[in-house]
Amino acid sequence: MSKDIYELQANICQTLANAKRLEIIGILCDKEFTVGEVAEKMGIRTANLSQHLSIMKAKGILNSRRDGVHIYYSISNPKVVQACTLMKEVMAELLQAQGNLSKKVL
């Protein structure tokens, strides 16, 4: 593989290195939602959410479509969800292992 793919991967990982953006992926993992619906689920202002959605769309992580006055967002590739889920599982295992290690030390 060319080094370009590693640069692209690092760029996408930087984009996803944000808890709000990971939460957006969690919300959109099964279906599309409007900006307002996502904002309501996250409990944040639409203006703040729109910034995150714009960045994620520009990086190719999300798709959007307009239906009248509403803009719907969805995940562009289901493998993005798979990758995020896998990393979440790794983190949970690390936390569990650290917890077990802490119990042994105490």
Count other C-beta atoms under 10 Å from residue 92's C-beta: 10
The pLDDT assigned to 46 comes to 94
Q: For 15-37, what is the mean pLDDT?
A: 96
Question: DSSP letters of the chain?
Answer: --HHHHHHHHHHHHHH-SHHHHHHHHHHTSS-EEHHHHHHHHT--HHHHHHHHHHHHHTTSEEEEEETTEEEEEES-HHHHHHHHHHHHHHHHHHHHHHHHHHHH-
Count other C-beta atoms under 10 Å from residue 82's C-beta: 11
Percentage of the residues of the chain whose pLDDT score is greater than 90: 80
Nearest to 71 by CA among 12, 26, 28: 28
CATH of the domain at 95: 1.10.10.10
The pTM assigned to this predicted structure is: 0.86
Domain extent at residue 44:
3-105
pLDDT tens for each residue of 41-74: 999 999 999 999 999 999 999 999 999 999 999 9
> To the nearest whole number, what is the mean pLDDT of the chain?
92
Number of domain units in the chain: 1
